[in-house]
Structure 1
Amino acid sequence: MQKSIFGFLLLLLIACSEKENQQKTTSKVLPNPFYEKAFVLMDNDRMDSAFFYLNKGKDLFLKRNDSFGIGKSYVNMAFIQENVGDNFGCIETSLIAAQFFKEKDTAHHGFIFSNYNNLGISSSNLKNYNDAEQFYKKAKPFAKDPIDKMMLQNNIAILFHNQKKYEHAVAIYDKLIDSVGPKSEYYPKLLLNYSRSKWFGNHNYNPVKNYIIAEKLSQNIDDDWTKDAAYAYLSAYYLNKKPDSSKFYAKKMLILAKKLKYPVDELEALQNLIKLSDGTEAQQYFDAYSKTQDSLINSQNKAKNQFALIRYESEKAKIENLILQKEHTKHEYKVRVQNLVIWLLVFVFIVIVIITYIWIKKRRERLILEANNKLQEQRLDFSKRVHDVVANGIYEVMAIIENQKDLPKEKVLDKLELMYEKSRDLSYDNQSRQEFNEKILALVSSFDNDDTRIIIVGNDYDFWKNLVPTFREELFQIIRELLVNMKKHSCATQVVLKFSKENDTYQVFYSDNGIGLSEDVVEKNGFRNMKTRLGEIGAKMKIEDSNTGLKVSIEWKNIPLQEPNKNN
């Protein structure tokens, strides 16, 4: 009954105080609708729903990294657990709440006090009086509000009463009554507690007068909880002295406890009525007692299980969310790795393309330089030989003519003929030194300029090396004829000359983007003669003429080849 006298009402007051503090605090930060809805449900005595929304509010505070909000949620959850009789759950939740408060922060002090107060009440309910006393001592430095201080003193007095230290309890109540005065709403509650502890300490003391005063004052302020406590104390006092009076107040207590929906006081009233009744009436009260007790136990167990289930579902959802976050993080990591690999491959490809381009460009420059150097060497060598053979020979002939006055004409002619033979051999020797593909390249280069770009493909050493020299010369003349004709008549800007060989079939393909040729021009420019000459050596020539250019294809096979040698 002590809880209903003062502790229960003051716990409601501290819940309201926490609600006001929360509203002041959340005005400065983001609102938490779950936390705020919990207090509305708590005011309507829907504790299970309030617990559910406090837990959701705690999860929202957790997402915002608001440790103060988390601690406040846990404090109010612990208050609800103690209110429905889940004292062990209250202690567990309160100990969790303590981790989120900072004792040096004055904004946290009110909630730190409430948390220690919850721990003290639950420990006292479990008859762990030493633990309760320690928690009340820890709460004392944080009791800044006058109501908090009065509540703490009242709870300490109840603890002394339960420990049978009635004189200590009476001393505390004396001070509390003097501090509030007879007009205070708390006066009836304190007067009841004072009178009860004094009677327990001295059975010669008669508390009835004070009980009646407290009962009448509670009627004036419509305080059913204080009236319920007064009926309980009057019934207990008269139990062994005036059974009829005890039974009268027990019935009034039973009716009021049912109105307040407080089964603990219903059981206390029924217990007294069983003792004060006989026969059938006693059996009826006993049946009601058993039914109420079973209902209370079931209700408390249901609340405990429900609270545990809410906490379990919350933790389960949190774990599942963490798993999903982990999977999401792994997926993002894979995507990032894939993107990195793709970009790396793109980068490597670009680098390879750049390196290849640079290599091809440098190789082309190197080949051109080597060809130019080789050509220059050949020119120098040829100049030297011309000097040695022709210049020296002429000097020799001049010397003979100058020094020999009667020189026969035949001898001079012989000398000149010898020089002619040597110069002709020198010319042939120079031609043999130059590879035929280089000769073709030199021919094409003489027609290539900024206005007309000539692309040559397949002009390799292997294409020409086994062909009969006379056949090569015929092809050379035909290609030169085509290029001369292009230069004179076609106005082409691009020419393609392609050489290809597949097994024993050879092909030379010529194309340009010029204006084409009329039939008259074809005849005038010797195309008929080219066909005739090619036919004599077994090659075929095909001409495709249009307004978009000229295409000439020369193809042959089974042409007599010369034996490969080192000079060709």
Structure 2
Amino acid sequence: MKRTIILIVFTLSIIACNKKHNPIPLVKDTYFDKAESFLSKNSDSAFYYFNKVAANSRDSLEIAIAYNQMAVIESNAGDYFGAQESLMISLKFLNDKKEKHFNCLSSDYNELGLNVQNFKNFDLAIEYYDKAEKYSNNKVFNLMILNNKALVYQKTKKYAQAIKIYNEIITGTGESQKEYARALSNVTKTKWLQNPDYKAAPYFLKALDIRKKQNDIWGQNASYSHLTDYYTTIRPDSALIYAHRWYQVTKEIKSPDDQIDALRKLIQLSPPVETKAYFKTYQKLDDSLKFARNSAKNQFALIRYEVEKNKSDNLKLQKDNTEKKYQIIKQRILLFSTFLLLIGGSGISIIWYKKRKQRLEMEAQNTVRENKLKTSKKVHDVVANGLYRVMTEIENQESLDRNSILDKLENMYEKSRDISYEELGFTDQNFHVKLSDLLRSFATETIRIVLVGNTADLWLKVSIQIKIEIEHILQELMVNMSKHSKASNVAVKFEQTNNCINIYYSDNGIGIAEEEQFKNGLTNTGTRIKSIHGEINFGIKAEKGLKVQISFPVS
């Protein structure tokens, strides 16, 4: 909660800085205002509206701030992986050459440091804190970064480096008694950890006294924690007194993590008759906290999915409306043209023109029918299967890369525009990577995809035409699997024997009936195999599953 409050203030300073350095003020999204209003009272609602900002705003800095705040909410809920993902997305919208982006850059790197620190990746945490310090132009926030950095050195027992930083913080606190007390308490604990004989009590008590005068409840929480740890071995009775005070403060600040830590100390220090009651409270609180954080993770994933789905539905609706308007205009033009033709001539000229027009229209319709027959196979492979692949990703991925989805839709749009040409645009650069991405895109929470042998060397001597056909063949198999097979495990193995490449496909689904082997899309598969002088064999099916072997010459 403390980090959330600090970062709310920090976000406002980013926006204020923006207005100060940019002659055109940053126009905040209405969703942004709603998100900020929910930050301190309903994190789910705040996350929802920040996600709306990220999906709808056209201002890159505003989007970056939204992802930064989403990361803080996720981190506070214990979703550290989700927080890291949000922070990495935030960084993509920032420019390290623009001064107005520096505050958000500093905040992103500081949050990344805190997240990797939770995974005990201390070296990487130091790197992130160094970057946060590089972009920080806020004195108070810079002291916080230094404090986080010193804490890493303390946890890794590099006490001399930690003490050096804490002394630097003390020097830089100026008239801020609150920051001075924080640095004094932290440097005292570090000196005590470095030398267990160090007389730390007077300095701990001095920091506590300052915090009481400043009414710094969060600071008192830290002081009581330090005093409890210090007295645990040398004066357990005093440690118990401070543990009781610590526990009362944790309930006042409503920090479940600190309550759990305080309860651990009370269980350790209390008489046996009191230990049982503290343990029950500890166990209940720990279970509640785990449940709340797991629920929050699922809620965040659901919010992201719903926002992306609504956006996709809106885009489809816009496209459909545009198409309908186009058809109406087209019909009106056709009717008007026909009317002009009917009244534009007379006598034999009109009759001759109408007959000629009818003949030309008939020829055009026949040509269209022939073209439709020729391109139906390409439409099925490129548009239908491509859309199914994107739909599968949207339905089954917890968090979506908006730019990636848009790129794929744009790619299908470009291919559909050129569908009437003899060959679709195709690039064989990094074909093995492209093929792996295609196959793995069908993986879901219930479908596991395993690939073996798909290396760059395997495809070096294979022609572009063969690569095109193989890509469509495998895509058709995966679409058939996803739609019909009910498989949970799919394996695709690639190997080369002499001048021949073999591809072995297998799944544990319901198999495929004999009469179904060459229906619909699989008919195209057989045609494609023949076009590259290859073979396809549907193996003898066991009780469950399907095995397919594809073989074709390298050149």
Equivalent position of 2:183 in the other structure: 190
Could you tell me which amino acid in structure 1 is paired with residue 37 of structure 2? Answer: V
Equivalent position of 1:34 in the other structure: 31
1:109 aligns to 2:98 (yes or no): no
C-alpha displacement of 1:245: 0.7
Q: 1:238 aligns with which of 225, 231, 237?
A: 231
Tell me, what secondary structure is at the counterpart of 1:104?
coil
Equivalent position of 1:256 in the other structure: 249
1:132-147 equivalences in 2 (<5 Å): 132-147=125-140
Kindly indicate whether the alpha-carbon contact (under 8 Å) linking 2:94 and 2:105 is maintained by their aligned counterparts in 1: yes
1:59-458 equivalences in 2 (<5 Å): 59-61=55-57, 65-181=58-174, 183-352=176-345, 356=349
C-alpha displacement of 1:354: 10
Cα distance, 1:199–1:344 mapped onto 2, change above 3 Å: farther
Cα distance, 1:85–1:330 mapped onto 2, change above 3 Å: same
Deviations along 1:160-209, one digit per CA (max 9) or x if unpaired, are: 11222121111100011011146532111111111111211121212211
Kindly indicate whether the alpha-carbon contact (under 8 Å) linking 2:14 and 2:104 is maintained by their aligned counterparts in 1: no
Q: Matches of 2:59 and 2:296 in 1, distance apart?
A: 28
Instruction: Give the fraction of aligned pairs with identical amino acids, expressed as a percent.
Output: 33
Q: Matches of 1:260 and 1:87 in 2, distance apart?
A: 23
Q: Matches of 1:12 and 1:209 in 2, distance apart?
A: 31
Deviations along 1:394-430, one digit per CA (max 9) or x if unpaired, are: xxxxxxxxxxxxxxxxxxxxxxxxxxxxxxxxxxxxx
Q: Matches of 2:165 and 2:290 in 1, distance apart?
A: 34
5+ long unaligned stretches in structure 2:
353-555
Cα distance, 1:67–1:244 mapped onto 2, change above 3 Å: same
Q: Matches of 2:333 and 2:190 in 1, distance apart?
A: 79
Kindly indicate whether the alpha-carbon contact (under 8 Å) linking 2:15 and 2:26 is maintained by their aligned counterparts in 1: no
1:54 aligns to 2:53 (yes or no): no
Deviations along 1:53-104, one digit per CA (max 9) or x if unpaired, are: 212232331xxx2222211111111112112222111101111111111111
Which segment is superposed worse, 49-58 or 228-237?
49-58
Q: Matches of 2:339 and 2:26 in 1, distance apart?
A: 49
Kindly indicate whether the alpha-carbon contact (under 8 Å) linking 2:177 and 2:210 is maintained by their aligned counterparts in 1: no
C-alpha displacement of 1:273: 0.9
Q: Matches of 2:223 and 2:109 in 1, distance apart?
A: 29
Cα distance, 1:9–1:169 mapped onto 2, change above 3 Å: farther
Could you tell me which amino acid in structure 2 is paired with residue 238 of structure 1? Answer: Y
Could you tell me which amino acid in structure 2 is paired with residue 50 of structure 1? Answer: A
Cα distance, 1:339–1:134 mapped onto 2, change above 3 Å: farther
C-alpha displacement of 1:29: 4.3
Q: Matches of 1:349 and 1:25 in 2, distance apart?
A: 65
Larger Rg: 1
Tell me, what secondary structure is at the counterpart of 1:102?
coil
Deviations along 1:428-486, one digit per CA (max 9) or x if unpaired, are: xxxxxxxxxxxxxxxxxxxxxxxxxxxxxxxxxxxxxxxxxxxxxxxxxxxxxxxxxxx
Equivalent position of 1:13 in the other structure: 6
TM-score computed with the length of structure 2 as normaliser: 0.59
Kindly indicate whether the alpha-carbon contact (under 8 Å) linking 1:86 and 1:304 is maintained by their aligned counterparts in 2: yes
Could you tell me which amino acid in structure 2 is paired with residue 59 of structure 1? Answer: A
Kindly indicate whether the alpha-carbon contact (under 8 Å) linking 2:53 and 2:66 is maintained by their aligned counterparts in 1: yes
Kindly report the root-mean-square deviation, in angstroms, between the aligned alpha carbons of the 2 structures. 2.4
C-alpha displacement of 1:120: 1.0
Q: Matches of 1:205 and 1:354 in 2, distance apart?
A: 117
Deviations along 1:504-558, one digit per CA (max 9) or x if unpaired, are: xxxxxxxxxxxxxxxxxxxxxxxxxxxxxxxxxxxxxxxxxxxxxxxxxxxxxxx
Kindly indicate whether the alpha-carbon contact (under 8 Å) linking 1:10 and 1:151 is maintained by their aligned counterparts in 2: no
Kindly indicate whether the alpha-carbon contact (under 8 Å) linking 2:28 and 2:62 is maintained by their aligned counterparts in 1: no
Kindly indicate whether the alpha-carbon contact (under 8 Å) linking 1:35 and 1:58 is maintained by their aligned counterparts in 2: no
Q: Matches of 1:337 and 1:132 in 2, distance apart?
A: 61
C-alpha displacement of 1:15: 2.4
Cα distance, 1:153–1:11 mapped onto 2, change above 3 Å: farther
Q: Matches of 1:223 and 1:204 in 2, distance apart?
A: 29
Cα distance, 1:128–1:162 mapped onto 2, change above 3 Å: same
C-alpha displacement of 1:17: 2.1
Deviations along 1:23-47, one digit per CA (max 9) or x if unpaired, are: 56478243422212222222x3432
Cα distance, 1:198–1:352 mapped onto 2, change above 3 Å: farther
Kindly indicate whether the alpha-carbon contact (under 8 Å) linking 1:170 and 1:194 is maintained by their aligned counterparts in 2: yes
Tell me, what secondary structure is at the counterpart of 2:65?
helix
Q: Matches of 1:287 and 1:316 in 2, distance apart?
A: 43
Q: Matches of 1:297 and 1:34 in 2, distance apart?
A: 30
Kindly indicate whether the alpha-carbon contact (under 8 Å) linking 1:19 and 1:39 is maintained by their aligned counterparts in 2: no
Deviations along 1:128-156, one digit per CA (max 9) or x if unpaired, are: 22222222233232111212321221111
Deviations along 1:236-270, one digit per CA (max 9) or x if unpaired, are: 11111111111111111111101111011111111
Cα distance, 1:339–1:244 mapped onto 2, change above 3 Å: same
Tell me, what secondary structure is at the counterpart of 2:126?
helix
Which segment is superposed worse, 278-287 or 328-337?
328-337
5+ long unaligned stretches in structure 1:
1-7, 360-568
C-alpha displacement of 1:127: 1.2
Q: Matches of 2:155 and 2:336 in 1, distance apart?
A: 77
Could you tell me which amino acid in structure 2 is paired with residue 239 of structure 1? Answer: T
Cα distance, 1:272–1:262 mapped onto 2, change above 3 Å: same
Tell me, what secondary structure is at the counterpart of 1:186?
helix
Kindly indicate whether the alpha-carbon contact (under 8 Å) linking 2:143 and 2:169 is maintained by their aligned counterparts in 1: yes
